[in-house]
Amino acid sequence: MESSPRWPFLDFTGITGGERVLDVGCGTGILTATLGERGSQAVGIDASEADLASARRNRPRPNVTYELSDVRHIPYSDASFDACVSTLVLDIIPEFDQVVREMRRATRSGGVVASAVFDFWGGFSASALIYDTGSVLDDGIRALRDDVRRYPLVRANAQQTSGERSAW
Protein backbone atom coordinates (compact mmCIF):
# COMPACT_ATOMS: atom_id res chain seq x y z
CA MET A 1 0.00 0.00 0.00
CA GLU A 2 1.38 3.42 -0.93
CA SER A 3 1.97 5.96 1.77
CA SER A 4 -0.60 8.67 2.31
CA PRO A 5 0.40 12.06 0.92
CA ARG A 6 0.07 15.22 2.99
CA TRP A 7 -3.07 17.07 1.95
CA PRO A 8 -3.27 20.76 2.93
CA PHE A 9 -6.67 20.78 1.21
CA LEU A 10 -8.03 18.18 3.63
CA ASP A 11 -6.44 20.03 6.54
CA PHE A 12 -8.28 23.15 5.34
CA THR A 13 -11.64 21.34 5.23
CA GLY A 14 -11.41 20.24 8.84
CA ILE A 15 -12.41 16.67 7.97
CA THR A 16 -10.78 14.67 10.74
CA GLY A 17 -12.08 11.12 10.38
CA GLY A 18 -15.12 9.24 11.53
CA GLU A 19 -17.22 11.16 9.04
CA ARG A 20 -19.04 9.95 5.93
CA VAL A 21 -17.45 11.79 2.98
CA LEU A 22 -18.25 11.85 -0.75
CA ASP A 23 -15.38 12.50 -3.17
CA VAL A 24 -17.02 13.94 -6.29
CA GLY A 25 -15.09 13.15 -9.46
CA CYS A 26 -12.65 10.87 -7.61
CA GLY A 27 -10.72 9.75 -10.69
CA THR A 28 -8.16 7.14 -9.67
CA GLY A 29 -9.02 7.51 -5.99
CA ILE A 30 -6.02 9.28 -4.50
CA LEU A 31 -8.07 11.69 -2.38
CA THR A 32 -10.72 9.06 -1.58
CA ALA A 33 -8.10 6.61 -0.30
CA THR A 34 -6.49 9.36 1.78
CA LEU A 35 -9.87 10.14 3.34
CA GLY A 36 -10.15 6.46 4.24
CA GLU A 37 -6.65 6.44 5.72
CA ARG A 38 -7.64 9.42 7.84
CA GLY A 39 -10.55 7.41 9.26
CA SER A 40 -13.47 8.61 7.17
CA GLN A 41 -16.06 6.35 5.56
CA ALA A 42 -15.40 7.56 2.01
CA VAL A 43 -17.26 7.08 -1.25
CA GLY A 44 -15.62 8.12 -4.51
CA ILE A 45 -17.81 8.70 -7.55
CA ASP A 46 -16.67 9.26 -11.11
CA ALA A 47 -17.96 8.97 -14.67
CA SER A 48 -14.91 7.04 -15.87
CA GLU A 49 -15.08 3.28 -15.34
CA ALA A 50 -11.41 3.04 -16.35
CA ASP A 51 -10.38 5.43 -13.57
CA LEU A 52 -12.62 3.63 -11.08
CA ALA A 53 -11.10 0.28 -12.04
CA SER A 54 -7.67 1.76 -11.35
CA ALA A 55 -8.87 3.10 -7.97
CA ARG A 56 -10.33 -0.26 -6.98
CA ARG A 57 -7.16 -2.08 -8.04
CA ASN A 58 -4.53 0.36 -6.71
CA ARG A 59 -6.22 2.08 -3.76
CA PRO A 60 -8.53 -0.37 -2.01
CA ARG A 61 -9.31 0.52 1.60
CA PRO A 62 -11.74 -1.26 3.95
CA ASN A 63 -13.76 1.92 4.56
CA VAL A 64 -13.74 3.18 0.94
CA THR A 65 -15.96 2.40 -2.06
CA TYR A 66 -15.72 3.61 -5.64
CA GLU A 67 -18.88 3.97 -7.73
CA LEU A 68 -19.74 4.89 -11.31
CA SER A 69 -21.89 8.01 -11.35
CA ASP A 70 -22.65 11.18 -13.25
CA VAL A 71 -21.57 13.86 -10.76
CA ARG A 72 -24.21 16.23 -12.10
CA HIS A 73 -26.82 13.87 -10.62
CA ILE A 74 -25.40 12.50 -7.37
CA PRO A 75 -27.27 9.25 -6.64
CA TYR A 76 -27.71 9.80 -2.90
CA SER A 77 -30.56 11.28 -0.92
CA ASP A 78 -30.42 14.68 0.72
CA ALA A 79 -28.03 15.05 3.66
CA SER A 80 -26.42 11.61 3.11
CA PHE A 81 -22.88 12.81 3.88
CA ASP A 82 -21.08 14.84 6.51
CA ALA A 83 -18.89 16.32 3.78
CA CYS A 84 -18.57 16.44 -0.02
CA VAL A 85 -15.20 17.26 -1.53
CA SER A 86 -13.88 17.56 -5.04
CA THR A 87 -10.44 18.24 -6.47
CA LEU A 88 -9.46 18.97 -10.07
CA VAL A 89 -13.03 18.52 -11.33
CA LEU A 90 -15.19 21.63 -11.17
CA ASP A 91 -12.95 23.52 -13.58
CA ILE A 92 -13.54 20.98 -16.36
CA ILE A 93 -17.29 20.43 -16.10
CA PRO A 94 -19.40 22.97 -18.00
CA GLU A 95 -22.31 22.46 -15.55
CA PHE A 96 -20.16 23.08 -12.46
CA ASP A 97 -22.95 25.02 -10.78
CA GLN A 98 -25.22 21.98 -11.05
CA VAL A 99 -22.50 19.79 -9.50
CA VAL A 100 -22.06 22.24 -6.60
CA ARG A 101 -25.84 22.25 -5.99
CA GLU A 102 -25.77 18.46 -5.91
CA MET A 103 -22.85 18.46 -3.49
CA ARG A 104 -24.72 20.83 -1.18
CA ARG A 105 -27.89 18.74 -1.41
CA ALA A 106 -26.07 15.52 -0.52
CA THR A 107 -24.32 17.14 2.48
CA ARG A 108 -26.01 17.44 5.87
CA SER A 109 -26.79 20.86 7.29
CA GLY A 110 -23.63 22.26 8.85
CA GLY A 111 -21.46 19.83 6.88
CA VAL A 112 -18.49 20.67 4.68
CA VAL A 113 -18.61 21.27 0.92
CA ALA A 114 -15.16 22.03 -0.48
CA SER A 115 -13.36 22.01 -3.81
CA ALA A 116 -9.88 22.71 -5.09
CA VAL A 117 -8.56 23.26 -8.61
CA PHE A 118 -5.28 24.48 -10.07
CA ASP A 119 -4.79 28.22 -10.21
CA PHE A 120 -3.78 29.10 -13.78
CA TRP A 121 -4.49 32.85 -13.53
CA GLY A 122 -0.78 33.57 -13.37
CA GLY A 123 -0.08 31.36 -16.36
CA PHE A 124 2.18 28.36 -16.35
CA SER A 125 5.54 30.10 -16.30
CA ALA A 126 7.86 27.06 -16.34
CA SER A 127 6.19 25.70 -19.45
CA ALA A 128 6.13 29.12 -21.10
CA LEU A 129 9.87 29.54 -20.50
CA ILE A 130 10.63 26.19 -22.16
CA TYR A 131 8.35 26.89 -25.14
CA ASP A 132 9.68 30.42 -25.62
CA THR A 133 13.32 29.34 -25.42
CA GLY A 134 12.77 26.38 -27.73
CA SER A 135 10.83 28.48 -30.24
CA VAL A 136 13.95 30.56 -30.88
CA LEU A 137 15.91 27.42 -31.68
CA ASP A 138 13.41 25.29 -33.60
CA ASP A 139 10.49 26.01 -35.94
CA GLY A 140 8.68 22.86 -34.79
CA ILE A 141 8.78 24.00 -31.17
CA ARG A 142 7.63 27.46 -32.26
CA ALA A 143 4.62 25.87 -33.98
CA LEU A 144 3.90 23.77 -30.89
CA ARG A 145 4.15 26.83 -28.63
CA ASP A 146 1.77 28.77 -30.85
CA ASP A 147 -0.69 25.86 -30.90
CA VAL A 148 -0.61 25.48 -27.11
CA ARG A 149 -1.24 29.21 -26.60
CA ARG A 150 -4.22 29.12 -28.93
CA TYR A 151 -6.29 27.11 -26.42
CA PRO A 152 -7.31 27.89 -22.84
CA LEU A 153 -5.54 26.04 -20.04
CA VAL A 154 -8.82 25.01 -18.43
CA ARG A 155 -11.61 23.61 -20.56
CA ALA A 156 -14.25 20.90 -20.37
CA ASN A 157 -12.77 17.38 -20.37
CA ALA A 158 -9.22 18.77 -20.54
CA GLN A 159 -7.86 16.26 -18.04
CA GLN A 160 -8.89 13.16 -19.99
CA THR A 161 -5.99 10.80 -20.57
CA SER A 162 -7.12 8.46 -23.33
CA GLY A 163 -9.60 8.10 -26.15
CA GLU A 164 -12.26 7.46 -23.51
CA ARG A 165 -15.02 10.07 -23.40
CA SER A 166 -16.59 10.84 -20.06
CA ALA A 167 -20.31 11.11 -19.38
CA TRP A 168 -19.80 14.78 -18.58
- CATH, residue 103: 3.40.50.150
Among 128, 159, 158, residue whose Cα is nearest residue 144: 128
Answer yes or no: is 3 within a domain.
Answer: no
> Do residues 38 and 53 share a domain?
yes
Say yes or no to pLDDT of 115 above 70. Answer: yes
In a domain, 153, yes or no: yes
The answer to whether residues 46 and 26 touch, using CB atoms and an 8 Å cutoff, is: yes
What are the beta bridge partners of residue 46? 68
Q: Region 151-159: what's the mean pLDDT?
A: 51
Q: Are 71 and 51 a contacting pair, CB within 8 Å?
A: no
Structure confidence by residue, pLDDT tens digits, 35-81: 999 999 999 999 999 999 999 999 999 999 999 999 999 999 999 99
Res. 153: pLDDT tops 90: no
Domain that holds residue 15: 8-116
Residue 155 has pLDDT above 70, yes or no: no
Nearest by Cα to 159 from 124, 123, 117:
117
Q: Residue 2: inside a domain, yes or no? A: no
Say which range, 73-77, 103-107, 120-124, 132-136, has the weakest mean pLDDT. 120-124
Task: Name the least confident of 67-76, 108-117, 138-147.
Answer: 138-147
